[in-house]
Structure 1
């Protein structure tokens, strides 16, 4: 099983540099979105995050990285070392690297260290002098950035990520260089249409540790502090037998009440997590077995249900709870998450790796059910039996007849039953229960509805 840092079929451009030189602002400028979190303080971006950009009808993936301090991170704490390691890994999978420096500061010790690291490895690099709008003569920035030639990475290209000045020129350079390298043709061989799997859960339940187990590399910075993962992080995983998944690790989702008063970083992280869920086919709802199920887990499960996504419940840190706690958690699941009782449960430990190997088969299972289609003839044979066993209740004093049913779509499965009158919600739930008993649909929500055609009753009375 391997983790890849690219969107399927497109080249990868990694944006690296020391902290607070404007890498995430540049990503947002190039991608035309606000996926990357930006604040006026260093260290906001911690993990590698991927974003899609398009220029001159050419699509490519931008990889935003945390502040990179090769060798300089040592002694600054575990998190700084891990963030720097993430940036180094990003260069390993990139076709082209944009090395960003602050044009208003000039060459720093950290810049020189990064440049030396890049030169030693002979990587394809464009040197970007950001914040050129703050120079004394922003209309003629090249003279003031000339000292950057000393980095040994070729011509510095002046740009203002904040205001967009020079961004089109840099994008032209990016596309031209990728074309010269034949990167678009090589990347087009990658498999497309890969299902997205969102890792969802409140902060500090072990999402990032589980993510790293699944993708087979330490792609996400794992730290004990809640909320370490700020952005949504995409990684394509391919198994030995050719299956592929796009895993998205998101910042811990918080309740809306907390969002309104949270700092901007928390707000945009949560928005990005919701977007990740919307783009996914399935979700892993990760629960800390030691903490149990609470209001937040209920809300997240409801959000996944409302989004119509397939679901696997993951009870993480299972190795840390005793038999009594396990029984209590099982009762909590029955009581608080009964509305997603269809979801399979995997009890695992991301730290030890226990039962992690069961997750991919569970994901395959729920994706298969999410796209299951029941032939119309078989569905109507089933419907006749279900109605004979329990006829629909009367509506407005008249008997309700269900003429036929059909499955209108998959992902999730949607069924519509055509009747002479409204069907009560309790009866629709009965039909859903019978559908699950007969056809399975483990791990997927079902959309069961009614289409009323009262004229049928009028015709039958003639």
Structure 2
């Protein structure tokens, strides 16, 4: 810019929304051991997990069965990193949805590096607790016993009866007030191995983060289970089965991806309440933390306002985007014609997104998901050299100059790509550029440079008028 005699301090940044543009600084993925927190429903597992994490992560509500999937959180204590896996309530011989939830808890017991059985000290050991203890005594992993809801000294003596479960000393703790949580964390570090039993070896940069988002009951968990080749998420006909984001490492088309299955967005965050409110917040956070979003839309039904709202959230977050039209096995010829019209009408703002027609039930075209993710992320990471960009913008303006405004035609003096993730371009101009002309530039950027599957942000800096010297 110095060669052109341009001083950035002379320009004022403007865009159509007047909002600052933020980038993404991904965290490293560390290979750390995992401790699974298991127990029967409503013993306070999620409350205890939040206490041990030191932050409110797990969704907590005073009704049983809120947590349903295996939810993994990063934790830190005394300088040592590990993972806490919150699970749904485990019950023997459970059926229906609760049976699927119990199966997830059993999978956590088998795959974790250590297990903590949580028992409600105010109730004592129930037959369900005894059944869980029998399973864990046969487990090939370290096991510890936690007596929760010990809110005062009167209940400490009651924990002695839990020795009969055969899992060693019961550690008394209050998840609500934090009593004994420090001693519990110390005991956890003693039984946790230094390294996990399984390591995916994702490489220095870690797996690319993929958020699975969409309205309730659109098939997000079913798709995750299909591509993972096992039941990673609870799937049931009841809409809204997933509450917490479910984080899974998946081997897809030769690469390791970190998939996050999120709760279905039913309402706007401000309108939601209770469990649904916190689930919506976590879904929004999962989108912000992801690099690319897989938005699932039910192809067998008309595109809904919820679908458009989810797409807007992803676009505004600046994440790469792949739209999956799920349940394609239910789409007939008439529905295909209707869907074509809906795409032209309702999804025009994200016409740049990659699209794949899939069926989570049959596995149709799931092999096309990984290539679409790679193309979207490649666009998201693309940078155009400044010289090439300015040569391109000069030819574009010569062929179609900006519209005249207030009797003057603005000039584009210089162009640069400020950052990637998402691709962000800054135009230095002598005057205001109409929104229509900005959209024209964005469209031509896509036509000439690609950017399939990635949003583009375009900012204009206008030269300030200098006061005349007297």
User: Taking structure 2 as the reference length, what is the TM-score of the superposition?
Assistant: 0.89
The alpha-carbon distance between structure 1 residues 405 and 185, as it changes in their structure 2 partners (threshold 3 A), is farther
> Which residue of 2 is the match for residue 250 of structure 1?
262
Instruction: Answer yes or no: is the 8 Å Cα contact 1:9–1:190 preserved in 2.
Output: no
Q: Is the aligned partner of 1:56 residue 2:66?
A: no
Task: After TM superposition, list the pairs within 5 Å mapping 1:103-252 onto structure 2.
Answer: 103-133=121-151, 137-138=154-155, 141=156, 143-178=157-192, 181-183=193-195, 191=203, 192-239=205-252, 241=254, 243-252=255-264
> Which residue of 1 is the match for residue 16 of structure 2?
none
1:403 to 380, 403, 413: 413
**Alpha-carbon distance between aligned partners in 1 of 2:411 and 2:120, rounded to the nearest angstrom:** 72
C-alpha displacement at 1:149, in angstroms? 1.1
> Which residue of 2 is the match for residue 66 of structure 1?
88
Give SS of 2:72's match.
strand
Instruction: Answer yes or no: is the 8 Å Cα contact 2:202–2:256 preserved in 1.
Output: no
Unpaired runs of at least 5, structure 2:
1-27
Task: After TM superposition, list the pairs within 5 Å mapping 1:306-317 onto structure 2.
Answer: 306-317=316-327
Instruction: Answer yes or no: is the 8 Å Cα contact 1:8–1:187 preserved in 2.
Output: no
> Which residue of 1 is the match for residue 118 of structure 2?
100
Give SS of 1:25's match.
helix
- Larger relative helix fraction: 1
**Alpha-carbon distance between aligned partners in 2 of 1:30 and 1:386, rounded to the nearest angstrom:** 58
Instruction: Answer yes or no: is the 8 Å Cα contact 1:316–1:347 preserved in 2.
Output: yes
Q: Is the aligned partner of 1:383 residue 2:400?
A: no
> Which residue of 2 is the match for residue 15 of structure 1?
37
**Alpha-carbon distance between aligned partners in 1 of 2:333 and 2:299, rounded to the nearest angstrom:** 12
C-alpha displacement at 1:185, in angstroms? 11
C-alpha displacement at 1:177, in angstroms? 2.6
> Which residue of 2 is the match for residue 80 of structure 1?
98
C-alpha displacement at 1:189, in angstroms? 6.4
Q: Is the aligned partner of 1:414 residue 2:427?
A: no
Give SS of 1:24's match.
helix
Q: Is the aligned partner of 1:336 residue 2:346?
A: yes
The alpha-carbon distance between structure 1 residues 7 and 92, as it changes in their structure 2 partners (threshold 3 A), is farther
Instruction: Answer yes or no: is the 8 Å Cα contact 1:370–1:411 preserved in 2.
Output: yes
Q: Is the aligned partner of 1:360 residue 2:370?
A: yes
Q: Is the aligned partner of 1:32 residue 2:54?
A: yes
C-alpha displacement at 1:355, in angstroms? 0.6
**Alpha-carbon distance between aligned partners in 1 of 2:52 and 2:300, rounded to the nearest angstrom:** 43
**Alpha-carbon distance between aligned partners in 2 of 1:122 and 1:202, rounded to the nearest angstrom:** 39
> 347-356 or 248-257, which moves further after superposition?
248-257
User: Taking structure 1 as the reference length, what is the TM-score of the superposition?
Assistant: 0.91
